[in-house]
Amino acid sequence: MSAFLAAGPNLGRGGIGAWLAGLSPAGKAGVLAIEVVVMLVVWQLVVGVFGWINPVFLPPPTAIAQGFVELVSGGMLWPNMLISAQAWLIGFAIAAVIAIPVGLLMGSSLPMDRVVGPIAWTIYATPTIAYQPLAKAWFGFGIGPVIFLVAVSALFPILLNVAAGMRTTNASIIRAGKVYGASRTQLYRSVYLPSTVPFLFAGLRQAVVLATIGMVVAELAGSASGMGALIIKAANTYQTDQAFAAIAIVVAWSVGMTQVVTLVERWVAPWTRKGRR
Amino acid sequence: MTTTSIERNEAGAPLISVRDLSVSYDVARTGKRLTAIEGVDLDVHEGEFITVLGPSGCGKTTFMNVVAGLVKPTTGTVLVGGSPVTGPGPDRAVVFQDYALLPWRTVFDNVKFGLEMQKELKGAGWRERVQDAIELVGLAGFEQSYPRELSGGMQQRVGLARAVVAEPRILLMDEPLGAVDALTREVMRDEIEKLMAATGKTVLFITHSIEEAILLGDRIVVFKSHPGAIKEIIETGLERPRSERSIQHDPRFLELRDHLWDALQGEATAAAVSK
């Protein structure tokens, strides 16, 4: 979670910026925890205690917690969560398996880049929801259209980042590779691929967020199950507390998977970790 | 001022022999043909330390890249050990101005890079060779550090270790101290002087620092720009071992410095005007 508090350009020098930048990871997590608690308390006061906003539109945190308990005890949460997670993971895996090799090809071959590039950018630029009716026509009403939308959403950020990483490999390092006798294959394995790794993970992080959007969009628009379906069912029956609880779970999933990607990156690519002198 | 000929009166064939070398290329943006270097002749003998001095944009790096095998000559020939250069080879190693280390490799793995690419990791003793090279440049204890954790001077030491570990006959150094801070630069000049005197390697050292060129070079090859070409070749004739301090008040050093100042100032002004 401490990634949220990464130091930006500390233009002011000193003051609270310097204090934040100097915090230990535990300290940063502490600051974040305080921020969350303060936000929840203000929210609770505004809606729950003072009643400035109708809780049907914006339920207070305690009501959302209650909604969460209702979802669990009513047996609605686990089955829907499992279906969503399944669709998400399958769709994400399909995206990664296609996007990584195609991205590498695009990055290393100009003709490939010229042919695939415009297609990739066009599909990437299309709002995911536009594919939803088609997805239903192609894959029916089950988990199929959800997997499809997750895969389409996750595919292009991975593909385009990998291609960019390959293309922007430092020319000086390529020269060094040649000088020290790297063959073509060695050059790809020892220079191009490792220098693409940070781009791959940047793409994966973007893909996590977009895949989750794709999943919810697919489930909102006419799925019988899944977190999106749960949200729309609860909202349609004015059980906004349950709807918010379901949304919170989706957000937690998205943030959690982003953290998983970051952890895998630290393990696979330890050189990208910020070094302390 | 004594200016020597391109050949030195020494027995045996030169290790590097450059004849009538020119490099030119088309600039896509302007559609013009640019001549980087023209009519370069130079012989370098085994064990010589040659410094190549010139203003920026005079083609000295292009010249080095041709010897390294990274750039093909447009006309003329470059022989290393009697055979024409067709590409990079294990007889030549390069130290780059921007270090060009692999950020995903530790110091140890960066130093072993050359051996690895040349498939020399099979035999026994390569670990000791890598370790010796790391110790030679004073980086013992930093084997498992990543380049980003090191200062510029330390990164260039890794670059040096990577170059010497494969025991090339020729070391090509492209302004290796151009990007390190002034204090570190002075310390490292002395270290390079000692290191090369100890190993007896043939060195082609590109620089735009007059002091550096005198301190390190047996001969100084002065480049002029537009087009890049050799302006003169000067034998330094200073006793070795040398150090930054020992030569500061040497009359020969002062004489050389004044001469090179005049030579380069004209060049730098011409370069500034033509831009």
> A13 lies in which domain range?
2-53
Range B255-270 average pLDDT: 85
Considering only CB atoms, which chain A residues are within 8 Å of B101?
A: 173, 176
Given a cut of 50, whether residue A55 has pLDDT beyond it is: yes
> Total domain count for chain A?
2
Inter-chain CB proximity B113 and A197 less than 8 Å = no
Closest Cα in chain B to A276: B149
What is the per-residue pLDDT for A224? 84
**Ranges of H-type helices in B26-141:** 60-68, 107-111, 113-117, 126-136
A75 at the B interface (CB within 8 A)? no
Domain parsing of chain B, residue ranges: 1-81+204-275
CA–CA dist A84, A228 (Å, integer): 8
What is the per-residue pLDDT for B218? 94
Considering only CB atoms, which chain A residues are within 8 Å of B178?
A: none
Angle at CA B24, nearest 5°, toward B57 and B224?
35
Q: Does residue A162 lie in a domain region?
A: yes
Inter-chain CB proximity A179 and B102 less than 8 Å = no
CA–CA dist B102, A197 (Å, integer): 13
Inter-chain CB proximity B117 and A190 less than 8 Å = yes
Co-location of A25 and A75 in the same domain: no
Considering only CB atoms, which chain B residues are within 8 Å of A276?
A: 149
CATH code, A182: 1.10.3720.10
Considering only CB atoms, which chain B residues are within 8 Å of A183?
A: 117
Co-location of A40 and A149 in the same domain: no
Q: What is the pLDDT of residues B73-123, one digit of tens each?
A: 999 999 999 999 999 999 999 999 999 999 999 999 999 998 999 877 777
Q: Does residue A158 lie in a domain region?
A: yes
Co-location of A112 and A13 in the same domain: no
Range B132-150 average pLDDT: 94
B92 at the A interface (CB within 8 A)? yes
What is the per-residue pLDDT for B270? 66
If pLDDT is split at 50, 70 and 90, which confidence band does A218 have? very high
If pLDDT is split at 50, 70 and 90, which confidence band does B46 have? very high
Query: Domain B1-81+204-275, what architecture?
Result: 3-Layer(aba) Sandwich (3.40)
Given a cut of 50, whether residue A275 has pLDDT beyond it is: no
Residues in chain A: 277
What is the per-residue pLDDT for B150? 94
Instruction: Determine the distance in angstroms separating the CA of B118 from the nearest CA of chain A, rounded to an integer.
Output: 6
Instruction: Determine the distance in angstroms separating the CA of A271 from the nearest CA of chain B, rounded to an integer.
Output: 5
Given a cut of 80, whether residue A4 has pLDDT beyond it is: no
Structure tokens at A110: 């100009």
Given a cut of 70, whether residue B24 has pLDDT beyond it is: yes
Q: Does residue A58 lie in a domain region?
A: no
Structure tokens at B211: 């002091």
Given a cut of 90, whether residue A33 has pLDDT beyond it is: yes
Of the candidates A176, A182, A276, the beta carbon closest to that of B96 is on A176
Q: Identify the weakest region by mean pLDDT among B89-93, B260-264, B269-273.
A: B269-273
Considering only CB atoms, which chain A residues are within 8 Å of B120?
A: none
User: How distant is the alpha carbon of residue A164 from its chain centre?
Assistant: 19
Q: What is the pLDDT of residues B207-220, one digit of tens each?
A: 999 999 999 999 99
Co-location of A155 and A99 in the same domain: yes
* Residue in the structure block whose two tokens are 């020992």: B246
Q: Does residue A127 lie in a domain region?
A: yes
* Residue in the structure block whose two tokens are 């490292």: B188
Considering only CB atoms, which chain B residues are within 8 Å of A277?
A: 149
Inter-chain CB proximity A194 and B100 less than 8 Å = no
Q: What is the pLDDT of residues A115-140, one digit of tens each?
A: 999 999 999 999 988 888 888 889 98
Instruction: Determine the distance in angstroms separating the CA of B9 from the nearest CA of chain A, rounded to an integer.
Output: 31
CA–CA dist B224, B229 (Å, integer): 6
Among B91, B92, B104, most A C-beta atoms within 10 A, so best to mutate, is B104
If pLDDT is split at 50, 70 and 90, which confidence band does A67 have? very high
Co-location of A189 and A256 in the same domain: yes
Which residue in B125, B126, B193, B137 sits closest to B161, CA to CA? B137
